Amino acid sequence: MKAGAPDEATAAHAEPHPLRATILNEVHARPFTPLRTPGRILHFGYMTDEAHARADRQNLVELCRREGVAAPQSSDKHFRVELGDLLLRWEQHSEFTTCTWEMPGSGDAPFSPPAADLCARLQSRPPPGPLLVAVDLQVAPEQSPPIAVAQFFDRPSLAIAENSDGRAVYATDFHADEAGFVRILIVDRGLEPERAGALAQRLLEVETYRTLALLGLPEAQRLSPSIARIERRLAEVTSEMSGTNDLAGNHHLLDELTTLAADLEAGAAASVFRFGATRAYDEIMQQRLQTIGERKASSFPTWTSFLTRRMGPAMRTCVSTESRQAALSLKLSRAADLLRTRVDVELEKQNQELLKSMNARTRMQLRLQSTVEGLSVAAITYYVVGLFGYLAKALHEAHLVPFEPAYLIAGFIPVAALAIWLTVRRIRRHHLGNDH
């Protein structure tokens, strides 16, 4: 082996990362399916939570077992299976599941037979959740004279465009027909089956993600009155703050701001996923349209211009609502901080007044204590001198002391008073020393 060459044997026998296979297979999970002309696709999108998604996967496994074909693995998020002349594409996403049925088209006029009749051919399988997307896509060959595309759609909402090389014209009105399907017509001007399959899948994704992106609009409309109410009340509370100086009033305003902030955060927490998903779905839709590379094909608007004009206000409403929530949350936080500061200042003032009153009471107690100590010294001196008087008289009567007892008592008074005062002082200093 050459010096510095990688040890290929070691690399080949190294233990692989547990997610390596998943990562490598992800880019191959959704290949474009070749689509013959004429062809027909019925595409469904269902909103699914974790329980619905688990049940739908089990239903798909049972369907495959009944038909004697390979079933999806427990980790598969994308799955394709042929069921006779039908091809089923199943995809499971974070909050929705799609089922796409591909079948040969008839040589009759586009969208014949009706999609409702075709549904009877599909394998019976419980829907995984509430239906959100239903698309009937028809791939028809170019004819002479050309197909009058507008006759199959609502003209005021019709959008028509060519793909980047002009080999296909596709149209829709984004309206649901009598059976509940949004119709998409692709006129094949020479597409290879792979190109036709790629174009059909991208158009289905545009319709799917367009519908999912608009789920944020009802949420924004639901939150707008609440946000407006909080904005108005915040302006009123801010105005009231300038005229409220007492602690009770500031406490009341602070409680109200806290309630407003809680209401706002509850709405923001409930909508944060929806608004984030709306942005993501809108970006995916725009990327799909850019990948197709639309060109104007008639006097009717292209899909890009139509959706920009019709969906733009809805997306801006969602963005505006989310921005209002963020800005209002910041304003509420600032107003609450200001009120807390005022409350803290008021509390500091009350504490200062309390400390002043405590200092005054302490000084009064010290004066009373000094007075009591003086009285205590006088009282104790009186009792000590009295006891000494009895002793002096007894000594005089026993002829042990030649002096009159009155002179002895008088001389003993200052000595006793000084001794008692020094003793009381020593006791007080001892207690003060222990306190420190």
Note the pLDDT of residue 57.
92
Burial class (CB in 10 A: 0-12, 13-18, 19+), 142: middle
| Gyration radius of the chain over CA positions | 46
Q: How many CA atoms lie within 13 A of 128 on its CB side?
A: 28
Q: How wide is the angle at C-alpha 122 spanned by C-alphas 121 and 128, nearest 5°?
A: 150
Percent of the chain with pLDDT over 90: 47
Q: Which domains does the chain have, with CATH numbers?
A: 29-192 (no CATH), 216-353 (1.20.58), 364-435 (no CATH)
Residue 12: pLDDT over 60: no
What would the mean pLDDT of 234-253 be, rounded to a whole number? Answer: 81
Q: Show Cβ contacts of residue 380 under 8 Å, excluding neighbours closer than 6 positions.
A: 420
Note the pLDDT of residue 159.
95
Note the pLDDT of residue 358.
84
- Give the model confidence (pLDDT) of 285-325 as tens digits: 999 999 999 999 888 999 999 999 989 999 999 999 999 99
Note the pLDDT of residue 1.
44
What whole-number distance in Å separates Cα of residue 76 and Cα of residue 318? Answer: 33
Structural contact between residues 405 and 396, judged by C-beta atoms closer than 8 angstroms: yes
Whole-number average pLDDT of the chain: 85
Note the pLDDT of residue 2.
47
Note the pLDDT of residue 124.
66
Residue 281: pLDDT over 80: yes
Q: Could you tell me the pLDDT band of residue 342, with boundaries at 50, 70 and 90?
A: confident
Q: End-to-end CA distance of the chain: give it in Å, rounded.
A: 83
Residue 3: pLDDT over 50: no
Question: Sheet of 39-47: strands edge to edge?
Answer: 78-83, 86-92, 96-104, 39-47, 131-141, 182-188, 168-176, 159-162, 295-296
What whole-number distance in Å separates Cα of residue 33 and Cα of residue 201? Answer: 8
Secondary structure letter of residue 73 according to DSSP: P
Neighbours of 288 (CB within 10 A): 20
What would the mean pLDDT of 12-23 be, rounded to a whole number? Answer: 73
Total residue length of the chain: 436
Q: How many CA atoms lie within 13 A of 196 on its CB side?
A: 23
- Give the model confidence (pLDDT) of 397-417 as tens digits: 777 777 777 877 788 788 888
What whole-number distance in Å separates Cα of residue 28 and Cα of residue 23? Answer: 10
Strand ranges inside 256-321, DSSP E: 295-296
Note the pLDDT of residue 252.
83
Note the pLDDT of residue 432.
65
Q: 248, 141, 251: which is closest to 186 by C-alpha? A: 141
The tokens for 164 are 């980047």
Q: Which residue has the tokens 């995809």?
A: 91
Note the pLDDT of residue 392.
78
The lowest-confidence range among 42-56, 179-193, 336-350 is: 336-350
The lowest-confidence range among 68-72, 146-150, 158-162, 210-214 is: 146-150
Provide the greatest CA pair distance for the chain.
162
Q: Show Cβ contacts of residue 364 under 8 Å, excluding neighbours closer than 6 positions.
A: none
